[in-house]
Amino acid sequence: MTAFMHDVARAALPVAIGLLVCAAAAAAVRWSRFDDAQAQRLARQYLEPLSTWCLVALATHTLALGAAGEASVLSLVLPLALGAAAVLVRTAADSSPRPAPAEPVKRHAATPTAPPPPATHAPPATPTAAHPAAPLWADPADDESATRSGLWSRA
C-alpha cells in the first residue's frame, strides 16, 4: 500500500504545478487587462476552478506522502508554498480592478418591439459559439439527438 501511495504522491505534484501555472496565466491575463474580451472572459471563468483543483492536487500529494510514511518537514515545504501561491493568485486576481463596462447602446423610442414568440415544448437550445457565455465543452456541431433512435434516444 505504501508503494501505491508513493506513486500517487509522485503523480499529484506535477499535476498541481501544471494547474498552478495555468491559474497564474489566467491571473496574468486579468492583471494585464489584455485587450481581448474573450481572453478576459475565459480568464475570469477558469481562474477559480484552476486554483481550486491545484489545492485539491496538493492536498492529495500531502495525504499520499503521509500514507506512504514519507512525510517530513522538508517534504511538506513545497506543497505548502505552492498552496500559498495558489491562494495568493486567486485572491489577488479577485481584488484586481474590473474594467469599466461599455456604454449601453441607445435605441430609438419609436422602434416597435416584436412580441415574444409563442412558447413551445421544444428542448432548450444548446449554447453555441455565437453565444459568448457558452462553456468550452459546448459543441453544437455534434448534435446527435436528431439521429438517435431506440431505447436511449431523447425523442
Let me know if 55 is exposed, middle or buried by CB neighbors in 10 A (0-12, 13-18, 19+).
buried
Q: Is 69 a residue whose pLDDT tops 60?
A: yes
Within 10 A of 81 (CB to CB), how many other CB atoms are there?
11
All structural domains of the chain with their residue ranges: 2-94
pLDDT at 72 over 70: yes
**pLDDT at 26 (0 to 100):** 92
Q: How many residues does the chain have?
A: 155
pLDDT at 32 over 80: yes
Taking residues 70-81, report their average pLDDT.
90
pLDDT of residue 62: 94
**Model confidence band, residue 142 (pLDDT cutoffs 50, 70, 90):** low
More confident residue, 117 or 31: 31
pLDDT digits (tens, 9 = 90+) for 15-24: 999 999 999 9
Query: Is pLDDT of 33 > 70?
Result: yes
- What is the model's pTM? 0.59
Q: What is the dihedral angle through the alpha carbons of 82, 76, 54, 4, rounded to the nearest 10 degrees?
A: 150
The whole-angstrom distance between residue 80's C-alpha and the CA centroid of its chain comes to 23
What pLDDT, on the 0 to 100 scale, is given for residue 91? Answer: 87
| Cell numbers that stand for 61 in this block | 500529494
Direct distance between the N- and C-terminal alpha carbons of the chain, in angstroms, rounded to an integer:
48
CB-facing half-sphere around the CA of 87: CA atoms within 13 A: 9
Contacts of 137 (CB under 8 A, 6+ apart): none
